[in-house]
Amino acid sequence: MILIPCPHCGERNVSEFQYVGEALTRPNPDGVDPEQWRSYLYLRSNPAGPTVESWFHRAGCRRYLKVERDTVTNEVTSVTLPGRGGPQP
């Protein structure tokens, strides 16, 4: 189980966090077309390598975090606030 270094709580088990998803910018809902909006909702780049994600420290400080992680090695290189990933339930 990987550890995520939370800026508030220190290194914690990933099971304390909720994975929100790739950090994306929410399109302006005015004038957005279905293709843009749905690619924001559903399409993810899913790289093998470095990626920027939003994680929610659910069982900790309950902050949304922006996490830079390598999906191959699971190495976490940076964790910052706030994770501007677009809200997702």
Partner 1 sequence: MRRKAQATGVDMRLGPRPGEIIDRSRGLTFTWDGDTYPAYRGDTITSALAAAGVRVMSRSFKYHRPRGVMTTSYLDPGCLVQVGDEPNVRASHRMVEPGMSARPQNAWPSLRYDVKSANGALAPFLSAGFYYKTFMRPKRLWPAYERVLRGFSPGGAVSPEAAHDYYDKRYAHPDVVVAGGGPAGMAAAVAAAAAGAAVMLVEGEPELGGHLRWGAAPELAALGDLRRAVAATGGIEVLTDSVVTGRYDGNWVAVVQRSAPGVVERLIKARAGVLVAAPGLIERPYVFSGNDIPGVMLSTGARRLINLWAVKPGERAVVLTANSSGDAAVCDLADAGVDVLKIVDARSGEDVVRAKGGRTLRAVECADGTTVECDLLVTAVGWTAPTSLLNMAGDRPVYNERAARFFPGGGHDDVLATGGIAGDGSLEQLIDHGSAVGRAAARRAHEVSATTEIPSLPVEAHPALFKARTHGFVDFSEDVSSKELEEAVAEGYDSIELAKRYTTATMGPAQGKLESVNAVAVVAAATGATIAATGTTVWRPPYSPVTLGALAGRSFEPVRYSPMQPWHEAHGAKPLVAGQWIRPDHYGDPAAEVRSVRSGVGLIDVTPLGKFDLRGPDVPKLLNQLYINKWSKLALGSVRYGVMCAEDGVVLDDGVTGRLGDDHYLMTATSSGAETVWEWIESWLQTEHPEWRVHVARVTSDFASINIAGPRARDLLSLVVDDVALGPEEFPYMRVRSGSIAGIDGSFMWRIGFTGELSYEIHVPASYGLGVWETLLERGADLGVKPFGVEAQRILRLEKGHLIVGQDTDGLTRAYGAGLDWAVKLDKEDFAGKPELGWQEGRDDFLRLVGLRPLEGTAVPAEGSQIVEAGIIVGRITSSRMSPTLGRSICMGFVAPHLAEPGSAISIVAPDGSRVPAVVTPQLAQVDPKGERLHG
The footprint of partner 1 (CB under 8 A) covers 1-3, 13, 18, 20, 26, 29-30, 32, 34, 37, 41, 54, 56, 58, 62-64, 74, 82-89
Q: In b/e form, how buried is each residue of 24-36, taking b as 16+ CB within 10 angstroms?
A: beeeeeeeeeeee
User: How far apart, in whole angstroms, are the C-alpha atoms of residue 45 and residue 60?
Assistant: 28
CB of 68 to partner 1, least distance (A): 16
Which of partner 1, Zn ion, none does residue 32 bind to, with CB < 5 to 8 Å depending on kind? partner 1
Which of Zn ion, partner 1, none does residue 87 bind to, with CB < 5 to 8 Å depending on kind? partner 1
Residues near Zn ion, by CB under 5 A? 6, 8-9, 57, 60-61
